[in-house]
Amino acid sequence: MGHEINNPDVKQKNHMNTIYTWIDSPTHLYPGHPEHPSRLQRLKERLPAFGARELPFQKATPQEVMRVHSGSLLRELEQACRAAPQIIDYAPTYVTPSSLEDAFNAAGAALTALRAILQQQATNGFAIIRPPGHHAEPQRAMGFCLFNNVAIAAREALSQGLERVLIVDIDAHHGNGTQAAFREEPRVAYFSTHQWGIYPGTGWLEDAPQARQRIVNVPLPAFSGDTVYLRAFEECLEAQVNRFQPQLFLISIGFDAHWRDPLTELGLTLQGYFRLAQRLVELAEHWCEGRILFVLEGGYDPHIIAEGGMAVLAALAHHPWTPPPETPPAAEPEIEDLLQRIRRWHGF
């Protein structure tokens, strides 16, 4: 299904124009917490890769952040950081004295990469950043997330004149904050695959009934892996793309859907991540001249983040990539009934 891209000129153009931004926020850390700077260390040691070039980033401004978040949230985070280190919600989400600055930097790194793509200084890119963002709602930080980086990037794209932005969320957890930010925004579509029954408890198939076809949730059973994800893309995502016809793809990429992640129970392999990234790049090349930005979210095994990051960069650059061999410990579930229900709900 879909549209294959076989033009070698396009492939060479992408190889020469893949950029990444980097912010590992080394002082945003809390003892024993899974969301910590060393998550990214192995990936950092392997950059740059596949011809991608690093782009220096500019910190986001309060005005840019407040396109998504309330001023009261910024004030609450500022006060919390003054009293840091401390836990600010049950997830648990934490702050340190530097966390507000780190959040502005992470959002800024996503914005810098996006602007390079929109201004045709790059074809595509990867914002490798922390703290992550997709749980952060307009009024509150939660789920290890302070600012919603991908939502802030989407608002910037709209401010630059784009009329249709599609966010694809491949994190193991539902991006409740992203959905909340665009629940009533017809110019932004949202597609999420996530493990059903885990934090934050949102992402029902029937969420946002007023936004059918535009907000599409695919709540997956445990151990869903490469076959399940590819079917969800082919039977649900591509139908949404055909209806919405996006001008930009933003990808919330979490490597916690991998079978080795310590916090979740999904079954993607590294080869599966590579194939999903390749498919997203192909769709972006068909619909929006290759404009696609991956933004890092979760993932709590440093080895898998490193290999998964290589998979994304290789897909962006149309570069061959062979993952290390691996065998998930559990068979994938049958999801035909789930996919039928999703297609019926959205009229796909």
Q: How many CB atoms lie within 10 A of CB 153?
A: 29
In a domain, 67, yes or no: yes
Indicate which residue of 28, 69, 134, 135 is catalytic. 135
- Whole-angstrom distance, CA of residue 53 vs CA of residue 203: 35
What integer pLDDT is reported at residue 16 of this predicted model?
52
Q: Which domain holds residue 184?
A: 8-346
In a domain, 2, yes or no: no
The set of residues, in sequence order, having a beta carbon less than 8 Å from that of 304 and lying 6+ positions away, is 255, 258, 260, 261, 270
What integer pLDDT is reported at residue 5 of this predicted model?
32
Would you call 303 a catalytic residue per the annotation?
A: no
Residue segments in the chain with a per-residue pLDDT below the cut of 50:
1-15
In a domain, 1, yes or no: no
DSSP 268: B
Tell me if 294 sits within 8 A of 312, measured CB to CB: yes
| CATH code of the domain in which 272 resides | 3.40.800.20
What integer pLDDT is reported at residue 294 of this predicted model?
99
- Whole-angstrom distance, CA of residue 193 vs CA of residue 220: 7
In a domain, 3, yes or no: no
In a domain, 61, yes or no: yes
What integer pLDDT is reported at residue 119 of this predicted model?
96
In a domain, 44, yes or no: yes
Query: How many domains does the structure of the chain reveal?
Result: 1
Tell me if 106 sits within 8 A of 131, measured CB to CB: yes
In a domain, 127, yes or no: yes
The pTM score is 0.95
